[in-house]
Amino acid sequence: MANCIVAQSGGPTSVINATIAGIVRANQMNPVYDKVLGGLNGIEGILNERFYDLTDMSEEENRILRQTPSSALGSCRYKLKRDNVADFEKLIKIMEKYDVETLFYTGGNDSMDTVAALSEYARSHGVTGRRFVGCPKTVDNDLMETDHCPGFASAAKFIATTALQTWLDVNVYTRQEVFILETMGRDAGWLAASACLSGHVDILILPEMDFDKEAFLKRVAECIAEKNKCYIVVSEGAHYADGTYIAAGEAKNDGFGHAVLGGAGKALENMILTTNTASRCKVQDLSTAQRCHASEQSLVDVTESFNLGMSAHMRSADGVFTGKMVGIRRKDGEKYDVEYFAIDADKVANFVKNFPKEWILPDMKGITEEGYSYLRPLIEGTPDIIMKDGLPAYVTPYYMR
Amino acid sequence: MANCIVAQSGGPTSVINATIAGIVRANQMNPVYDKVLGGLNGIEGILNERFYDLTDMSEEENRILRQTPSSALGSCRYKLKRDNVADFEKLIKIMEKYDVETLFYTGGNDSMDTVAALSEYARSHGVTGRRFVGCPKTVDNDLMETDHCPGFASAAKFIATTALQTWLDVNVYTRQEVFILETMGRDAGWLAASACLSGHVDILILPEMDFDKEAFLKRVAECIAEKNKCYIVVSEGAHYADGTYIAAGEAKNDGFGHAVLGGAGKALENMILTTNTASRCKVQDLSTAQRCHASEQSLVDVTESFNLGMSAHMRSADGVFTGKMVGIRRKDGEKYDVEYFAIDADKVANFVKNFPKEWILPDMKGITEEGYSYLRPLIEGTPDIIMKDGLPAYVTPYYMR
């Protein structure tokens, strides 16, 4: 027998650790691997041989790990470039040194590219017995092939809940008021669209459509005329027809060459106030909290994230399972149910799954019934959260131990 | 028998409706009043004779009302000025018309001033049989005499939870990073201080101390040198020694002549980045969500808010109970316990209870053990939340029915 590594990459989510918990649990049920090594800070830490042994995790720690947000193993923004042969060789050497057969990597489409690239490198260089398996995670829900991504539903639930609560808040005064909720979602509007589950979104602005300032201000004015209020939800990635982000003034860059957005809400507020379309406006940018507010995990989400980890582990027992991502498929039928399946990681890597245009109502009025049907079952259920001194109990990150 | 009115004023909280639920429930147990009328949009709506009859609220609605954030009766920023005799006379006439003996008013110190002023007006004008009773609520926790205010603890719990979760999030990468969490708290630092319950606040900036930019940047640099990270919590009301808010550039005004703050976090970010004290900084402004995120109510808070309403109702059965606020007194002893008491509303009105200076550690390093001992019991316990379609079930606001 040999060992495996589990590691996490990219931005954390509220349920990303449940996938790790699932892999660890599966190995305790069927010890395919001698050791389950947590690779710390993703590829970056693995290349520096930083590991934490997760093999014998207790039941209690496993439960608490599942409810702990953010990446308990640490994350990285380090991308294995396909021409970086030195890193590839180094990684294979480290896998040989630690007798690691399988590397499980949780992440978004960049991470699936890493899985595909490593697998391809091994194949083309005659490296045998080293397998690379991807597990999807991203609050953005923008991965191809999988029905949805672990992490999305809990963020969606927090966003919808917050939309409902802030809508109640903004209505208490008789005065005129516009409220703008800004969500994450660089290229895909899934998170912003999920706010519609609150039932109270007047204007929804997604990256899937070109922003039209005139039409927007007209719609705000209509809402104000009708009820003296207007509740707006905007994705950080909202943009004009020419591709300019409406938050353009605020954009910075992250290490991956992606624009770090933020400020779309503020930009809308400025439009509304400077044109006197309304006299009062508040902006709530959900920022970091939306991807780590695990105290309100969706039970569906955390369960699927755990099960997906189990499925990945089980499939990896087959010695030729490599270059694959394990995804979630929604089964046909009235009642929501899913199954897990495997797909070549390169079919997922570097693509973006947008919120379907046919699910977007005209005039920024929200989403269609198909959209609701897709979203509703994902936020169902509330896990029992283990508390400590009034706060949720969380594991100490392994990279800090 | 006669009737009573319950009404809400000022900014809403996550448990403000539990006080109303307590008054309604107490009257069902002992019908001191024929009818419990909800006055819609506070004094503003009462002066326009807008009421909703709450007398026969069902057990189920009472339970859901307790978990509903924001003011279910609507709120107002309308302040009864002491020289506005016309409004006083009109209000008394309306009470006579609807045979209302007691007006219960939930709010902050402005509302307690309203209670005191109405009571004083009635006394000095020979108006008998009309009573005015205040129930404290404010997330700011800045009311005198009461140990704490209903609404504060749930906001504190959300803030501490979010601090813990975002601290986990900000640590996942090995890169240098500063995170700034901005909370409400115009003049009092209770909310910002409560973030310390997370156990991970490196720098705490409260309105109770004068902000020293040099010392702040020095402390940020120390944290960065030590661990490449720095977690900062700042109250919106943080200010320099001359009283200028550090968010001064962003300040607007509300209808009460209070500055509407926001932007303290952004101001700190600018200081850090423009001086190259750190290379990367994120700001999370908790904004409206912190006062209405009722899906994580503190059980202590919602229970006390309900009981305080019951206590106010019971005390009002005494025909001379007027001009009073019902408060919460923490009992001596190892184990946290409280009792309810009454105090003249004018001892509360228009004062501010600050976070005690002696509970603030030097060098912005957080709060003392006395501070923790005060805060810890308040966030204990998680109520069972009734859910509907994956979201918390809330009552339809009475002002919308």
Residue type, A271: M
Q: Specify the pLDDT at position B82.
A: 84
Are the beta carbons of A172 and B12 separated by less than 8 Å?
A: yes
Phi, psi of A359 (to 5 degrees): -95, 0
For chain A, counts of helices (H) and of strands (E): 12, 17
Partners of A74 on chain B (C-beta within 8 Å) are 171-174
The CA distance from A200 to A366, in Å, is: 10
Structure letter (DSSP) for residue B285:
E
Task: Give the closest of A162, A378, A389 to B293, CB-based.
Answer: A162
Q: Specify the pLDDT at position B262.
A: 54
Sheet holding A324-330, edge to edge: A51-53, A33-39, A2-8, A100-107, A131-136, A324-330, A338-344
Task: Give how far B41 is from chain A: nearest CA, Å.
Answer: 7
Residue closest to B87 by CA, chosen among B124, B54, B114? B114
Average pLDDT over residues A143-165: 98
Average pLDDT over residues A313-342: 96
CATH 3.40.50.460 in chain B is located at 153-292
Segments in chain B below pLDDT 70: 249-262
Are the beta carbons of A169 and B296 separated by less than 8 Å?
A: no
Contact present, A119 and A345 (Cβ < 8 Å): yes
Residue closest to B46 by CA, chosen among B37, B54, B55? B37
- Specify the pairing of strand A2-8 against strand A100-107: parallel
Residue closest to A20 by CA, chosen among A60, A63, A50? A63
Average pLDDT over residues A371-400: 97
The CATH H-level (homologous superfamily) assignment of domain B153-292 is Phosphofructokinase domain (3.40.50.460)
Helix (H, G, I), strand (E, B) or coil at A327: strand
Cα separations in angstroms, A141 against A116, A146, A210, B307:
20, 9, 20, 44
Partners of B162 on chain A (C-beta within 8 Å) are 289, 293
**Which single residue is written with the structure tokens 């976090």?**
B265
Q: Specify the pLDDT at position B249.
A: 57
Contact present, A54 and B150 (Cβ < 8 Å): no
The CA distance from A15 to B240, in Å, is: 41
Provide long-range contacts, Cβ within 8 A and 24+ apart, for B241-250: B241/B210, B241/B211, B241/B212, B246/B211
Q: Specify the pLDDT at position A252.
A: 46
Residue type, B161: T
Task: Give how far B204 is from chain A: nearest CA, Å.
Answer: 19
The CA distance from B31 to B147, in Å, is: 30
CATH 3.40.50.460 in chain A is located at 153-290
Are the beta carbons of A390 and B397 separated by less than 8 Å?
A: no
The CA distance from B167 to B179, in Å, is: 8
Q: Tokens standing for A217?
A: 């201000």
Spell B289-315 as b/e; 16+ CB within 10 A means b.
bbbbbbbbbbbbbbbbbbbbbbbbbbb
DSSP secondary structure string, B176-217?
-EEEEEEE--SS--HHHHHGGGGS--SEEE-TTSEE-HHHHH
Q: Specify the pLDDT at position B253.
A: 44
Q: Specify the pLDDT at position A356.
A: 98
Phi, psi of B371 (to 5 degrees): -60, -45
CATH 3.40.50.450 in chain A is located at 2-150+294-352+380-400
Task: Give how far B383 is from chain A: nearest CA, Å.
Answer: 12
Average pLDDT over residues A338-349: 96
CATH class for the domain made up of A153-290: alpha beta
Q: Specify the pLDDT at position B152.
A: 98
Q: Specify the pLDDT at position B347.
A: 95
A140 as an active site residue: the answer is: yes
| Fold classification of A2-150+294-352+380-400 (topology level) | Rossmann fold (3.40.50)
Greater confidence (A350 vs B235) lies with B235
Q: pLDDT by residue (tens digit) across A75-129? A: 998 888 888 899 999 999 999 999 999 999 999 999 999 999 999 999 999 999 9
Sheet holding B51-53, edge to edge: B51-53, B33-39, B2-8, B100-107, B131-136, B324-330, B338-344
Contact present, A338 and A330 (Cβ < 8 Å): yes
Helix (H, G, I), strand (E, B) or coil at A383: coil
The CA distance from A244 to A333, in Å, is: 41
Are the beta carbons of B165 and A69 separated by less than 8 Å?
A: yes
Model-level pTM? 0.96
* Phi and psi based region of residue A234 (left: phi greater than 0; alpha: psi -120 to 50; beta: remaining): beta
Q: Specify the pLDDT at position A1.
A: 75
Give every CB contact of residue A245 below 8 A, 6+ residues apart in sequence: A237, A238, A239, A251, A259, A261, A264
Q: Is the per-residue pLDDT at A247 higher than 90? A: no
- Neighbouring CB atoms inside 10 A of A187's CB total 17
Residue closest to A206 by CA, chosen among A365, A71, A91, A336? A365
Q: Specify the pLDDT at position B250.
A: 44
Among B110, B113, B140, B142, the active-site one is: B140
Cα separations in angstroms, B118 against A336, B20, B126:
57, 20, 12
> Quick one: closest CA in B to A395, which residue?
B168
Residue closest to B46 by CA, chosen among B125, B100, B110? B100
Helix (H, G, I), strand (E, B) or coil at A177: strand
Residue closest to B44 by CA, chosen among B69, B75, B65, B20? B75
> Quick one: closest CA in B to A253, which residue?
B280
Q: Specify the pLDDT at position A67.
A: 98
The CA distance from B354 to A127, in Å, is: 67
| Alpha carbon B271 to chain centroid, angstroms | 30
The CA distance from A240 to A233, in Å, is: 16
Partners of A71 on chain B (C-beta within 8 Å) are 172
Are the beta carbons of B394 and A68 separated by less than 8 Å?
A: no
Q: Specify the pLDDT at position A255.
A: 44
Residue closest to A139 by CA, chosen among A292, A27, A256? A292
**Which single residue is written with the structure tokens 């001892």?**
B347
**Which single residue is written with the structure tokens 């954030």?**
B69
Are the beta carbons of A397 and B168 separated by less than 8 Å?
A: yes
Phi, psi of A104 (to 5 degrees): -95, 125
Interface test with A, best of B172, B280, B284, B386 (most A CBs within 10 A): B172
Contact present, A340 and A311 (Cβ < 8 Å): yes
Partners of A376 on chain B (C-beta within 8 Å) are 389-390
Residue closest to A153 by CA, chosen among A199, A197, A111? A197
The CA distance from A320 to B236, in Å, is: 57
CATH 3.40.50.450 in chain B is located at 2-150+296-352+382-400
Virtual torsion, Cα B212, B213, B216, B217, nearest 10 deg: -160
Average pLDDT over residues A162-174: 97
Q: pLDDT by residue (tens digit) across B237-261? A: 999 999 999 988 544 444 444 444 4
Give every CB contact of residue A135 below 8 A, 6+ residues apart in sequence: A19, A104, A105, A106, A107, A150, A308, A309, A312, A325, A326
How far from each other are the two terminal CA atoms of chain A, in whole angstroms? Answer: 27
Among A140, A142, A301, A346, the active-site one is: A140
Q: pLDDT by residue (tens digit) across B276-327? A: 999 999 999 999 999 999 999 999 999 999 999 999 999 999 889 999 999 9
Beta bridge partners of A339: A329
The CA distance from B72 to B106, in Å, is: 12
Q: Which CATH code fits B2-150+296-352+382-400?
A: 3.40.50.450
Helix (H, G, I), strand (E, B) or coil at B274: helix
Q: pLDDT by residue (tens digit) across A254-304? A: 444 444 455 899 999 999 999 999 999 999 999 999 999 999 999 999 999
Beta bridge partners of B180: B232, B283
Partners of B160 on chain A (C-beta within 8 Å) are 390-391
How far from each other are the two terminal CA atoms of chain B, in whole angstroms? Answer: 27
Q: Is the per-residue pLDDT at A11 higher than 70? A: yes
Q: Specify the pLDDT at position A124.
A: 95
